[in-house]
Chains A and B, each alone.
Chain A
Amino acid sequence: MKSFENTLTAQEPIKPLILGNPSFSSVTETISGICEKKETPIWWWIALGISGLLSLNLAAMIGYLVWEGTGIWGLNIPVSWGWAIVNFVFWVGIGHAGTLISAILFLMRQKWRTSINRFAEAMTIFAVLCAAIFPGIHVGRMWVMHWMFPLPNQMGLWVNFRSPLLWDVFAVGTYFTCSALFWYTGLIPDLATFRDRAKNRIKKTIFGVLSLGWRGGNKQWKHYELAYLLLAGISTPLVLSVHSVVSTDFAVSIIPGWHTTIFPPYFVAGAIFSGFAMVLTLSIIARAIFPQIKNFITMDHLGKIAKVILLTGTMVGYAYSMEFFIAWYSGNDYERFAFINRALGPFAWAYWIMITCNVLTPQIFWFKKLRSSIPVLFIASIIVNIGMWFERFVIVMTLHRDFLPSSWDYYTPTMFDIGIFVGSFGFFFFMFLLFLRFLPMISMTEIKGVLPQADPHHGGNSHE
């Protein structure tokens, strides 16, 4: 047995990570080709058009929101937190898969991550941007948005350091910064490749600036690898911390149904769950638009993603049942009521959508057959994300029956709630499509590193 992967303990022959046995240069050709080609697939244009329109709609609706105030949304007492926070948590959650893939899987030397890490990271960045819209616009008076930061001011006021909403600002800010740095660092060698291949002066200059003078020398690689490792190390705790902090927005309050210690781990599992579902959706879309990359993002990759979804989906299901158990076990009437009301009250429909999508749907991935069917994977990934949106919706709707029965009310979104949410999807896909077209969606350098040719023992030069 010649080619031997030292990170695997089992003595089985390695299934190639990349199909079609490409050479180094054909990897470069295929991936750079997507960005250098003059004619773009028609589907790309159609998708870009639709998402562009939705983004415009988002901008217009935000403009109207600034003009008119948050009264155009459906929120009111008792549901004083409406779709804005639901969407915020939803988008932040999506981002988590990117960090997990790029940082934790990197540190664990899971080489299959190389095909999907680049665009999972891009997904993280765009998702965090989408998430940042919502806390930004929900303040109503956007011109004082800087009050979210601890800046000295005429009021002699600091932000409230005891408030989880402030922790959120830091958590999400750190998250965005680290993810963007990580993504960019990974891009540098590929940008240099683009620079070297560029035909005209303008492109050469742009990529030249972006690649920060990368020449690919031995020393540069040494620094680069170390920087990458360090960034992976820094990002790793973020996978756990960001959504834990987001969960404290709820858990630190004293609302029955929110004030629980299970929230942080349960939110993190849910975030990874929804993030991987989004990676799956996006990989399938990218494979459909650019069939060249099917050899890089293989069925094996999709199957592995499905397994992660199965695992985290089951964890989320456990959390749902544990919440109920603790509510009963606590003996607290209000806690019990909150949960019974979730499952049987006016928002029961949302609760059962959530259970169906998040707990039942992923169970189909126990079957290899279903894990290897593109249509099944695609539909399931979308269902999971619908379910995860509903999970946050269900949590926020806990508010609709508070301690004072006379103020109980039902929550109905307005067209602006819906329009802004749909618009954020438009923005997300708009950015993502631009990324697919103009930047290397798969890391060429890292792919080359996992090809059999890159192994020093390749081709019989074994030292044994």
Chain B
Amino acid sequence: MHDLAKHAPTAPDWGALRRDFPILDQTVHGKPLIYLDSGASSQKPRAVIDAISRYYEHDHSNVHRGIHELSNRATAAYEGARERTARFLNADKPSEIVFTRGTTESINLVAATWGERHVGAGDTILLTELEHHANLIPWQQLARRKGAQLLYVPVLGDSGVPDPAKVDELLTPAVKIFAFTHISNTMGTINPAAEWCARARALGVATLVDAAQSAGHCPVDVAAMGCDFLVFSSHKILGPTGIGVLYGREERFAEMPPYQTGGEMIVTVDWHDAKFKPAPHGFEAGTPDVAGAVGLHAAMDYLDAIGRQNIFEHDRDLAAYAYTRLSELGGVRLFGPGTDRAGLVSFLLDDVHAHDVVTLADQHGIALRGGHHCNQPLHRKLGVKSSARASFYFYNTHEEVDRLVEVVEKVRAFFNR
């Protein structure tokens, strides 16, 4: 906790913040709920839930369509969320923010538009072995359509760190786009996003950063990072499900054909032709998720009031504590870097399948993730079918980690009896 001491004057009252999350105050299978699955989806503070209700109770209508009062309010709320997102990411302009359904759709959008136009036969698409299926399959399918080559920066075994020597070797001018995760959802690795983006830029290579695990967990600044695209989901950063963000550098958006077509994204339509709006609206066909944007706006306000650096340090300390306690147990295989890891820990018990660990943890009220965490090829490479994952947020406590360790010990004793 020594790092937090540095921030002592502004150190958040974590206990009070936790009480902002109504869902955490319940028992599961007769035990107090310990939610250690925020990597899959975070819980929502009262402020977000209330913002959505308030919007529906007072301001809802369709956006950009009516000239009546409610439509004006809805439009202002929606475009206000866009401005807020631009500030959240330190983007140049709100027009560099496109709302999508989430990380997955954001990546599919880029692969289907920018990728479709700029990646050709013989070109290379570079990923890392850490990628979530969402940042793998859209590129794999694009490569297959185009006859392009798909390469992966390999990770160094269980450490989950992409091999720096291989980045040097694979990141060449033959690469059209380098798409990589900022924080690995399986390993907790924090990739050197700014360094990679700078090197790619110098070679004329476009970059896409998957910030699904980082946007709500640490400061994310697209100007400092220097990426071309950055994507994340609202539901992992305290916001509602159903909405996500695609940040795109202005000149990148300008060189992309439309994604979906229909209402809202057109300038003029004729029977046999149509003219499309530029970004952001040109990439947002149809009625958007206005209430989702309102909730996401409230979530970003809430996060920035706490300070994402504070959150990062809190989660990092908790994960480091969990990592140390679990490694002391013996017979536990831990994945990801031993130091400089983000707020999650994946592990396996000798001879116990992750599913069995997760079921027993659930009986003790502890929500863990078990499986391949949408990263099948990586698990295959590590020679495991699945792993158990505890992922933390600022509402989790050291006592909850202690409970987790106790339960893991129980599981081990049970299966080794």
Genuine A/B complex: no
